[in-house]
Chains A and B, each alone.
Chain A
Amino acid sequence: MIISELKPLEELQQALSSCDKLFLVGCAACATACKAGGEEEVFKLQEWLATQDKEVTGSVVIDEACHIMRAARDLRHHRNAVQDADALVVLACGSGIQSISSNVEKRVVGGLNSMFLGNVRRFGYYEEMCSLCGECILNETAGICPVTTCPKGLLNGPCGGMTDGCCEVDAEIECAWRLIYERLQAQRRQGVFARRVPPKNWSRRRQPGRYRLTNGGR
């Protein structure tokens, strides 16, 4: 899921300084799961806005804010409250915020910073394991992504900063290449170590990404 966190309140205060009436939008998918933009957080935001002398005209938690059409539909159901507001405050990832901003003429204020595509290690603890690079090497690296979990994204083994099998960037973190090496050894496979990996094709990750299923998918 997309991991996001509430922006610093001072930043929100500033962003909302010229708006008195606000409509609030949350997201029932990722932002709810990482406790940044669900029912509970929308309610807390409403309470905080009251202390800032702002009026909340209404709120909605959209099933998946990143779904542009669904966001449009949900906003239509709250047409009057939206109309009444000076701005919409969105507690969703950057993708969700833009679903909303592409559906309304009004000013949209994002309340969250989006961080990464995260795995849940345990409740409230998320780790980035995939950076959506468009050219997956996991089948050769024993299911551990060096593009993401090596801070340098190296493709041919560890850098000179590996110390006792740990990462130079954070000594608490095991070197991604060490983990790949150990797991491949346990599986008695050479995997990625059998070849020199050529430079990555970053054109696969050209932004903005666009993808269209053809023939209804494969």
Chain B
Amino acid sequence: MSQLAQQLASGRFVVTAEIAPPKGTNLVSALAGARKLQGVTAVNVTDNQGANMRLSSLALAAQLQQSGTETILQLTCRDRNRMALQSDLLGAAAFGIENLLLLSGDHSKFGDHPDARPVFDLDSVQMLDMANGLMAGFDMAGKRLDGVPRFFPGAAVNPAAEPFELMFQKVTKKVASGARFFQTQSVFERGSLERFMAAMAPLRAPVIAGVLLIRSAKMARFLNANIPGVKVPQPLIERLECAGDPMAEGLAIARETVGWARELCQGVHLMTLGHEDHIPEILA
């Protein structure tokens, strides 16, 4: 059982962070970055995030896992069909990776290979079903596996999405398909997180709230324009704009968000985008 699974089961507040594989084969800074992470239960390894081609999330997660860092392997439906997804999940299990974050994936149009053919052979609900099938010892064709993987599959959600009921019916499906935890898109408003957590209560799946370190008003506007599902509210942009030290203000905003998450959720997922050294401040 992974530490993440154990801590969530025991009710301990978990902290996850994320690391992006390099563009290229140089793993030095990714591995060093992971070593610097303090007070973190597990590290998400992103999968061609933002549809930008990078070294495979499985390769980096395997390295991290073998060097003693617990990972959450992110896998998207965008770049692989059902055969490749199953192969990669079996490969992940062979490297001792248990935690999964199974995603649809941002559309190829957003990344550095906009001409690529997006795959989306499965969606995230179907991928969760598939992972649970592998755990039960069968592939999607119903063939029996020689050696059965053990996973702790998780899913993503945007708690602020509208229409809420439409978003939430998919959350319900994900739980029914075996999502054991949720990591959320960046949250910025307490109210929307409260509403989401109230709806989650009967489903009994732990929620790890996404907290994004926004370093400036300019970055906030960039995120709003370019990152699907991220919507930094205007008042926060104004706070960053008026601040003498925007980085300090961004850290303060992140700290406040962690504060609500401690009251409402079962953990936080910190997206510090290269500023992992500030994690202790955000958690303080």
Interface residues of A (CB under 8 A from B): 151-165, 168-169, 177-178, 181, 193, 196-200, 202
Q: Which residue of A lies closest to B107 (CB)?
A: A169
Compute how far the CA of A165 lies from the CA of B176 in the bound complex, rounded to whole angstroms. 24
Docked-complex contact A161 and B229, CB < 8 angstroms: yes
Docked-complex contact B229 and A160, CB < 8 angstroms: yes
Docked-complex contact A160 and B129, CB < 8 angstroms: no
Q: Does B162 contact A (CB under 8 A)?
A: yes
> Can you add 11 more A-B contacts, CB < 8 Å, to A157-B170, A160-B156?
A151-B109, A152-B104, A154-B123, A156-B123, A156-B170, A158-B167, A162-B166, A163-B231, A196-B125, A198-B129, A199-B126
Q: A154-B123, A157-B170 are in contact. Are A181 and B163 (CB under 8 A)?
A: yes
Distance between B84 CB and nearest chain A CB, rounded to angstroms: 14
Q: Does B82 contact A (CB under 8 A)?
A: yes
Q: Does B16 contact A (CB under 8 A)?
A: no
Q: A155-B126, A160-B158, A196-B177 are in contact. Are A181 and B166 (CB under 8 A)?
A: yes
Docked-complex contact A177 and B166, CB < 8 angstroms: yes
27 pairs, A vs B, C-beta closer than 8 Å: A151-B118, A152-B77, A152-B118, A152-B120, A154-B123, A156-B124, A157-B170, A157-B173, A158-B170, A160-B103, A160-B104, A160-B185, A160-B228, A161-B107, A162-B166, A162-B167, A163-B228, A168-B228, A177-B166, A181-B163, A181-B165, A193-B169, A196-B125, A196-B176, A197-B126, A199-B122, A202-B121
Return chain B residues, CB-CB under 8 Å to A177. Answer: 166
Compute how far the CA of A162 lies from the CA of B140 in the bound complex, rounded to whole angstroms. 29
Q: Does B59 contact A (CB under 8 A)?
A: no
Distance between A205 CB and nearest chain B CB, rounded to angstroms: 12
Given A156, A163, A178, which contacts B229 in the complex, CB threshold below 8 Å?
Answer: A163
Compute how far the CA of A168 lies from the CA of B157 in the bound complex, rounded to whole angstroms. 15
Q: A157-B170, A160-B228 are in contact. Are A151 and B107 (CB under 8 A)?
A: yes
In B134-162, the 8 Å CB interface with A consists of: 140, 156-158, 161-162
Q: Does B106 contact A (CB under 8 A)?
A: yes
Q: Which residue of B lies closest to A159 (CB)?
A: B104
Count B-side interface residues using an 8 Å CB cutoff: 38
Return chain A residues, CB-CB under 8 Å to B120. Answer: 152-154
Distance between A213 CB and nearest chain B CB, rounded to angstroms: 31
Given A153, A157, A169, A202, which contacts B166 in the complex, CB threshold below 8 Å?
Answer: A157
Docked-complex contact A158 and B166, CB < 8 angstroms: yes
Compute how far the CA of A153 lies from the CA of B162 in the bound complex, rounded to whole angstroms. 20
Given A156, A162, A181, which contacts B126 in the complex, CB threshold below 8 Å?
Answer: A156
Distance between B132 CB and nearest chain A CB, rounded to angstroms: 12
Distance between B140 CB and nearest chain A CB, rounded to angstroms: 7
Docked-complex contact B126 and A164, CB < 8 angstroms: no
Compute how far the CA of A199 lies from the CA of B123 in the bound complex, rounded to whole angstroms. 8
Q: Which residue of B lies closest to A185 (CB)?
A: B165
Q: Which residue of A lies closest to B160 (CB)?
A: A163
Compute how far the CA of A152 lies from the CA of B170 in the bound complex, rounded to whole angstroms. 15
Docked-complex contact A169 and B109, CB < 8 angstroms: yes
Return chain A residues, CB-CB under 8 Å to B166. Answer: 157-158, 162, 177-178, 181
Return chain B residues, CB-CB under 8 Å to A198. Answer: 126, 129
Docked-complex contact B107 and A168, CB < 8 angstroms: yes
Q: Which residue of B lies closest to A154 (CB)?
A: B123
Q: Which residue of A lies closest to B106 (CB)?
A: A161
Compute how far the CA of A160 lies from the CA of B157 in the bound complex, rounded to whole angstroms. 6
In the A-B complex, the 8 residue pairs with the smallest Cβ-Cβ separation, listed nearest first, are A161-B228, A168-B228, A157-B170, A156-B125, A159-B104, A154-B123, A152-B120, A160-B229
Return chain A residues, CB-CB under 8 Å to B123. Answer: 152, 154-156
Compute how far the CA of A196 lies from the CA of B130 in the bound complex, rounded to whole angstroms. 13
Compute how far the CA of A173 lies from the CA of B218 in the bound complex, rounded to whole angstroms. 26
Q: Which residue of B lies closest to A202 (CB)?
A: B121
Compute how far the CA of A196 lies from the CA of B185 in the bound complex, rounded to whole angstroms. 23
Q: Which residue of B lies closest to A180 (CB)?
A: B166
Distance between A56 CB and nearest chain B CB, rounded to angstroms: 36
Compute how far the CA of A181 lies from the CA of B161 in the bound complex, rounded to whole angstroms. 14
Docked-complex contact B104 and A178, CB < 8 angstroms: no
Residue in B110, B120, B129 whose Cβ sees the most chain A Cβ within 10 Å: B120
Q: Which residue of B lies closest to A182 (CB)?
A: B163
Q: Which residue of A lies closest to B78 (CB)?
A: A152
Docked-complex contact B163 and A165, CB < 8 angstroms: yes
Given A163, A164, A168, A178, which contacts B106 in the complex, CB threshold below 8 Å?
Answer: A168
Compute how far the CA of A129 lies from the CA of B131 in the bound complex, rounded to whole angstroms. 32
Distance between B138 CB and nearest chain A CB, rounded to angstroms: 14
